[in-house]
Amino acid sequence: MELFNKHGFNPRSDLGQNFLIDINLIEFAVRAAELSKDDLVLEVGPGTGGMTTFLSAEAGRVISVEVDCNMFALATEATQHCDNVTLINCDILKNKNTIAPEITDLLQGTLEARPGSNLKLVANLPYSVATPVISNLVASDLPWQKMVCTIQLELGEKMIAEPGTSSYGSLSVWMQSQCSVRIIRRLGPKVFWPRPKVNSAIVSIWRHDGRGDRIEDRKFFLDFLRRLFHHRRKLLRRVLVAMYSKQLSKPEVDAILEEQGHGRETRAEALDVPTLVKLGNKFCTAVRDAHGG
- CATH number of the domain at 270, please: 1.10.8.100
Q: Mean pLDDT across the stretch 95-103?
A: 95
Residues 144 and 279 in one domain: no
Q: What is the DSSP string of 124-163?
A: E--TTTHHHHHHHHHHSSS-EEEEEEEEEHHHHHHHTPPT
Residues 149 and 248 in one domain: no
| Chosen domain end from 167, 188, 213 | 213
Q: What is the pLDDT of residues 131-149, one digit of tens each?
A: 999 999 999 999 999 999 9
Q: What is the DSSP string of 167-179?
A: T-SHHHHHHHTTE
Give the range of the structural domain holding residue 43, as residue numbers without chain letter.
2-213
Residues 197 and 242 in one domain: no
Q: Are the CB atoms for 206 and 118 separated by under 8 Å?
A: no
CATH number at residue 134: 3.40.50.150
Residues 166 and 284 in one domain: no
Q: Which residue type, as a one-letter code, is found at position 236?
A: L
| Chosen domain end from 213, 244, 275 | 213
Q: Are the CB atoms for 221 and 177 separated by under 8 Å?
A: yes
Say whether pLDDT at 193 is over 70: yes
- What pLDDT does residue 210 have? 82
Confidence at 211, pLDDT banded by 50, 70, 90? confident
Longest alpha-carbon distance in the chain:
68
